[in-house]
A and B are shown apart, each in its own frame.
Chain A
Amino acid sequence: AQKITQTQPGMFVQEKEAVTLDCTYDTSDPSYGLFWYKQPSSGEMIFLIYQGSYDQQNATEGRYSLNFQKARKSANLVISASQLGDSAMYFCAMSATSGGSYIPTFGRGTSLIVHP
């Protein structure tokens, strides 16, 4: 069974500082994808970044980077130079096979608050 664990219910960061949101995963599938999504208070889910299990380099998208440590089964999201608009819920997700299909599984999320 696939499992995503986010151990930080809430995080606080000062504006312009960097912050790391933790995510660990568990799967026996050698081929999987890892994703991070942002959910502002409006409720919409916004895709941020993707990392494939066979990718050698960490994924980056603007101020977002994914610190992928395969042996430790971790996929932490790093947000550099935090902005007030980064305040939101952040969800880690994994897409791995389940019964022959790739099914996205989500963690419980981390609430990030950026202080001015």
Chain B
Amino acid sequence: DGGITQSPKYLFRKEGQNVTLSCEQNLNHDAMYWYRQDPGQGLRLIYYSQIVNDFQKGDIAEGYSVSREKKESFPLTVTSAQKNPTAFYLCASSWASTNTGELFFGEGSRLTVL
């Protein structure tokens, strides 16, 4: 079955540690996105990538980093520079950036900083 797989589903981190959230898709989509969701804030774009080896910052990229070495994979690293990393993180993908294609989402990763 085609889809997007995010892991881990739950993650606990101590302050000062970097953590990496995995996102893999087998939909052959070109575009991939990372969103952060906080209660009452909706989804805010962290990073997006439209093609392998290229990515752009979204609205809240500070304290995060990504890579896109393979079409299928778009991991997100939450660095120690992110001041308030506790949140629900959603990875999504779509066909090449258009205004007609819906996003396909993973099940999300919930990060808690202890």
Contacts and interface: CB of A to CB of B under 8 A. Distances in A.
B41 A108 contact: yes
Contacts of B40: 9, 108
A50 B108 contact: no
A108 B35 CA distance: 13
Residue among B58, B92, B102 with max Cβ neighbours from chain A (10 Å): B102
A95 interface: yes
> How large, as a class, is the contact surface on chain A?
20 to 34
Interface string B80-94: 000000001010101
A31 B58 CA distance: 21
Chain B interface main SS type? strand
Residue among B42, B45, B94, B103 with max Cβ neighbours from chain A (10 Å): B42
Interface in B45-76: 45, 48, 50, 56, 58
Given A44-B105, A44-B108, A102 B99 contact: yes
Contacts of A64: none
Contacts, number: 68
Interface in A69-116: 91, 93, 95-97, 99, 101-109
**Closest 9 CB pairs between A and B?**
A45-B105, A33-B99, A108-B42, A106-B43, A47-B102, A95-B99, A43-B108, A102-B97, A106-B42
Given A45-B90, A101-B97, 18 more contacts: A9-B40, A32-B99, A33-B98, A33-B99, A33-B101, A35-B102, A37-B103, A91-B42, A95-B99, A95-B101, A101-B56, A102-B97, A104-B103, A105-B45, A106-B35, A106-B43, A108-B41, A109-B42
Interface of B: 33, 35, 40-45, 48, 50, 56, 58, 88, 90, 92, 94, 97-105, 107-108, 110
15 contacts: A6-B42, A32-B99, A35-B102, A42-B107, A52-B100, A95-B99, A101-B48, A101-B50, A101-B56, A103-B45, A104-B33, A104-B45, A106-B43, A107-B42, A108-B40
